[in-house]
Amino acid sequence: MKTFVSRFLTGLIAAVLLAACTSGPHIDRSLSTPDQRSRVKYLVLHYTVTDTPQSIRIFTHQAGVEASIHYLLSNDPEPVIYGIVDERRAAYHAGSDSGWKQDRNLNNISIGIEIVNAGWVDGPTGRTWAPFPEKQIETLIPLIKDIMSRHHIAPENVVGHADVAPQRKQDPGALFPWKRLAAEGIVPWPDETVVAVKRIEYQTSLPDIAWFQRKLSDIGYVVPRDGKVSQETRNVLIAFQTRYRPSKIDGEPDAETAALLDSPMRLVVPMKKN
């Protein structure tokens, strides 16, 4: 009997110790300090290039693919926001080769939103982009504002996947309504009055490619600074044009692109609705 009791007590003590080890130490979290901030600096917007069911499968069932996202926004008649990765954790959405301003590998310091959208197809008349339903954008805007507010994300740090990975990505595409987001006070936008004036100036005398590279870099794009018209530089110009001049995306350093780059980026204060 004593042997049984002894073994029982030994097992019980071992179980208690094991539970204590696996649960971790008790931490008193009643203290805090105002001297802290979120680790999140960027919000990156994507499109899925597939439908909602397939998007859900990709971001929840493909283990080891390193494709994950914090939020997935469906394109249903009543769009649904799926929270997939906790904001406190990194998701594999931007890519290890992503960059904006001085930062690289934005996975660790960004939140990603995937928007269900078919992307683009190339046809006889050129590239055709899939539109974003109005309801989807109406659902997206409050989500963006909420994330920005909680993490104190600067408007210039709300970017597209193409902005931070211009050598390999095009999303969220030419029909994504960046100007609508600007009207909501989410992102800055070039002063169109200044753009109109400068466009005329640059039609007479166009800056060299080194100037374009410097201006793109000043905004935040990772771009060569070698003064050469390379495909890498053209890809960055395409990303910029897709966002600010989607009517003509050709990667050419032309007068209108120069005017857009040389215009001050202003943040609109949206009017309050009655």
Any idea which residues carry the catalytic annotation?
114
Contact 102, 157 (CB under 8 A): no
> For residues 54 and 58, what is the distance between their CA atoms, to the nearest angstrom?
6
Peptide bond into 172 cis (omega under 30): yes
Question: Distance between CA 36 and CA 135 in Å, rounded?
Answer: 36
Angle between helices 209-219 and 231-244 (to 10 degrees): 60
8 Å CB contact between 72 and 58: no
CA-CA-CA-CA dihedral for 218, 220, 224, 227, to nearest 10: -20
> Token digits for 156?
């210039």
Question: Rounded to whole angstroms, how far apart are CA atoms 184 and 53?
Answer: 30
